[in-house]
Amino acid sequence: MKDERLKVALVGCGTVGSQVARMILELDDDLASRIGRPLELVGIGVRRLELERPGIDRNLLTTDLMGLVSRDDLDLVIEVIGGIEPARSVILRAIESKASVVTANKALLASDGEAIFGAAEAAGVDVYYEAAVAGAIPIIRPLRESLVGDAVTAVMGIVNGTTNFILDKMASQGASFADALAEAQHLGFAEADPTADVEGFDAAAKAAILAGLAFHSRVRLDDVTREGITGVTVEDVADAKAMNATIKLIAKASLAPDDSISVGVHPTMVANSHPLASVPGAYNAIFIESRNAGQLMFMGPGAGGSPTASAIMGDLVTAARNRVRGVAGPGESVYSRRAITPAGQALSGYFVSLLVADEPGVLASVASAFAAQDVSLQAVRQEAAMVGDDGPLARLGVMTHLSSNAAVERTLVELGKQPYLQGTPRVLRFEG
């Protein structure tokens, strides 16, 4: 084994970065044996020097991030600060310095992956990002390599642990969104500002990355239709229970009939018979449908310092091995350049919950309103609801076959004109 150490710069030393630093030191000999050469952590870029960082040599710390990644002797740069800037400049500069890059930055890759992968390709270095999606669950590599000889038709999953924890609480304890969110924040599963999680931005970035990999195309954050869970009510949760289903925030990318890519993040009723329905707490899971492999499911911790660091370390060793052999792994594969399905045209099953006057002919009228828009129904549930000012009311739960969002919307506009409709209908996607 050559003794000359591979020089590693770590940018970011928070929850994840500090774990990465710990593992590089702890596993030193093992990593050297697995890579063929030892690693040397030459610097750690941080925002504040004064913080206590147990086990970390203060002399490694610097606030000059660009200076750190501009060193001409770097082999590998790990970026775990997240966000767009300065992460973007740090990574591009690292690539200029001919270092391979390992990042967990889903937001950056989903919004600006093209520039980064292009620069890496030109410089002949690797950019690995297993940690960017579903934490410790190996999903990037299986899509990039294991399934690369197959034809993936759909990738869907629970890729945000915070929202899964909240929805789990709402389902198991009948808690409201607000109460479940408060508990998640109290337990550290949600940030003080939970917007990125509960509004689905985090999941949407991951959906864009998964969609691009699965379908060998470039998919950007703006291509992803997005709906968070802030609007999920206790009534929705009760409806789901009644339909023997569970509400999950599902990120889904699938091939539309016209071969375009339909990609979105939506709170979705998942039938309890589906493996994704039972994914607990803050876990993540990815479900893949492939023409030849059939159905595959991957489950594991989707966040947290150690799991995310584990994924980063796997990429680090792989990039380092390439370095030792003087090669780079295969780059981004976007040859098929598929179009994105226009939002309104994306197909899904839908569940529509309607409060209607409990009178003869109402059900028939509702059914024909759907039929008029070519939305075919696979199940209808009716139950007596409270008595309203104008007499008894009924709750209708309507489950549709695959239909376009636009057709369902048009149906709801029609129903809105009907005198028997009370209040606003609630609509959720459905996965069988």
Catalytic residues: 206
Binding its own copies (rule: CB under 8 A), the pick from 70, 185, 306, 382 is: 306
Range in contact with its own copies (rule: CB under 8 A) among 45-53, 191-199, 219-227, 326-334: 326-334
- Can you spell out the DSSP letters for 375-390? --EEEEEEEEEEEETT
Identify the residue whose tokens are 């950007």.
Answer: 220
User: Distance (Å, rounded) from C-alpha 160 to C-alpha 138?
Assistant: 15
Q: Which of residues 27 and 234 has its CB atom nearest to its own copies in the complex? A: 27
Least distance from its own copies to the Cβ atom of residue 161, Å: 12
User: Distance (Å, rounded) from C-alpha 385 to C-alpha 379?
Assistant: 19
Range in contact with its own copies (rule: CB under 8 A) among 141-149, 179-187, 200-208, 262-270: 141-149
In the Cβ-directed half-sphere of 192, how many Cα atoms lie within 13 Å?
0
Contact in structure between 159 and 251 (CB atoms under 8 Å): yes
Range in contact with its own copies (rule: CB under 8 A) among 89-97, 149-157, 188-196, 356-364: 149-157
Site string for its own copies, 328-357 (x = CB under 8 A): --x--x-xx---------------------
Least distance from its own copies to the Cβ atom of residue 411, Å: 37
Q: Is 175 in the site for its own copies (CB under 8 A)?
A: no
- Strands, E, within 113-195: which ranges? 127-128, 152-158
Q: Is 79 in the site for its own copies (CB under 8 A)?
A: no
Q: Is 122 in the site for its own copies (CB under 8 A)?
A: no
Least distance from its own copies to the Cβ atom of residue 213, Å: 12
Q: Which of residues 148 and 178 has its CB atom nearest to its own copies in the complex? A: 148
Range in contact with its own copies (rule: CB under 8 A) among 220-228, 235-243, 250-258, 291-299: 291-299
Range in contact with its own copies (rule: CB under 8 A) among 220-228, 255-263, 301-309, 400-408: 301-309
81: left (phi over 0), alpha (psi -120 to 50) or beta: alpha
- Can you spell out the DSSP letters for 300-311? EE--SHHHHHHH
Q: Which of residues 178-237 bind its own copies (CB under 8 A)?
A: 216
Q: Is 30 in the site for its own copies (CB under 8 A)?
A: yes
Q: Which of residues 144 and 248 has its CB atom nearest to its own copies in the complex? A: 144
Contact in structure between 104 and 14 (CB atoms under 8 Å): no
Listed in sequence order, the residues at least 6 apart from 80 whose beta carbon sits closer than 8 Å to its beta carbon are: 10, 11, 12, 13, 14, 16, 17, 20, 103, 104, 105, 312
SS3 328: coil
Strand order across the 6-11 sheet: 61-62, 39-45, 6-11, 76-79, 100-103, 127-128
Least distance from its own copies to the Cβ atom of residue 317, Å: 5
User: Distance (Å, rounded) from C-alpha 3 to C-alpha 152?
Assistant: 43
Least distance from its own copies to the Cβ atom of residue 11, Å: 17
Listed in sequence order, the residues at least 6 apart from 218 whose beta carbon sits closer than 8 Å to its beta carbon are: 113, 114, 212, 332, 334, 337
Q: Is 154 in the site for its own copies (CB under 8 A)?
A: no
Q: Is 270 in the site for its own copies (CB under 8 A)?
A: no
Binding its own copies (rule: CB under 8 A), the pick from 5, 53, 241, 321 is: 321
Q: What is the CA radius of gyration of the chain?
A: 24
Binding its own copies (rule: CB under 8 A), the pick from 314, 349, 397, 425 is: 314
Range in contact with its own copies (rule: CB under 8 A) among 106-114, 147-155, 162-170, 200-208: 147-155
- Both tokens of 16, joined, read 């994840």
Q: Which of residues 88 and 106 has its CB atom nearest to its own copies in the complex? A: 106
User: Distance (Å, rounded) from C-alpha 252 to C-alpha 247?
Assistant: 14
Least distance from its own copies to the Cβ atom of residue 313, Å: 2
Which positions lie near its own copies, rule CB under 8 A? 19, 23, 27, 30-31, 33-34, 130, 136-138, 141-142, 145-151, 216, 275, 290-301, 304, 306-307, 309-318, 321, 325, 327, 330, 333, 335-336
